[in-house]
Structure 1
Amino acid sequence: MFKRFSIVSVLLAALSGTTAAHAQSADASGTWLTQAGDARVKISKCSGGICGVIVWLKQPYDTATGQPATDSKNPNPALAKRPMIGLPLFSGMQPAGPNKWSGQIYNADDGSTYASNVTVTGAETLRVEGCVGALCGGETWTRARH
């Protein structure tokens, strides 16, 4: 009886260690480098889901003006003056399954917001997708090293 209990305890401990390691690798929190390598986005837990803001740009200044880059493509004139550093990209990103969140993503390249899914695909990779109707596209972000 004691031997059987100790074997079960060892198996449970091994399984819980595997589960903890899997959960840790599935965490979207952290800083991620976009596929093009032109921006870093810090993802953190918020409001039961995740939030993401731009924390670094390869080109942080507007080449025409020499001023810090702004959200110039935003159709709302008040928002078009927001600095790109600190710009929120995700809204309403809530859990949608294991390692996956769904909500909306803002695309500063065109000033539009799209339906989006964010999925942790590995300890170092994140799949970010945006959709317009049935047309979807995406890219793979990698965990940034400081």
Structure 2
Amino acid sequence: MAASPVEELSMRRLSRLVFAAGALIATALPTLASPEGVWELETRDTRFALQTCGDGSQVCGQLVWLSEADYNEQYKPYLNKPMADRLMPAGPNRWKGEMTLFGHKVAGTLTQRSANQMTLQGCAFLVVCKSYDMFRHSE
């Protein structure tokens, strides 16, 4: 039995409404707390201060603290120097761009996993890659 023109119109409208609602839900991924703040590497020997910059959607940061571990002596020249300048949004809670980690230029990604956890990934020469878990530092 064929649907009447009114029923077909109602079904098309309902289909569009369901599609639109699905698209809205799919794009409304959770936005986490701001990446702004001081983040400490999982090794507890290095801290970076991050802030939004540029148009407010980009992330900038600098190395702000090193532990007294012997191996950190070589990294002291990079203290209070930029490590990320205007990383661009690359999806919800994710920023990409060029970073300078301890004097090395890397293509990097920051991914905020939760309000207090972030992953920093960096690759030099597209083959030497390293990933660090970072945690929001609170004094």
TM-score (norm 2): 0.67
Which of the two has higher C-alpha Rg? 2
1:57 matched to which residue of 2? 66
Aligned residues: 107
Moved >6 Å (runs of 4+): none
2:110 matched to which residue of 1? 118
Query: How far apart in 1 are the matches of 2:133 and 2:37?
Result: 15
Q: Could you give the per-residue CA deviations for residues 81-134 of structure 1, whole angstroms, max 9, x where no partner exists?
A: xxx1x11111330111110000012121xx210000001001110010001315
The CA deviation at 1:137 is 2.2
Q: Is 1:137 aligned with 2:130? A: yes
Query: In the superposition, relative to structure 1, how do residues 63 and 98 fare at CA in structure 2: closer, same or farther (>3 Å)?
Result: closer
TM-score (norm 1): 0.64
Query: In the superposition, relative to structure 1, how do residues 56 and 63 fare at CA in structure 2: closer, same or farther (>3 Å)?
Result: closer
CA RMSD of aligned residues (A): 2.6
More helix by share: 2
The CA deviation at 1:26 is 4.0
Unaligned stretches of 5+ residues in structure 1: 1-18, 72-83
Q: Is 1:36 aligned with 2:43? A: yes
Q: Percent identity?
A: 25
SS in 2 for 1:70: helix
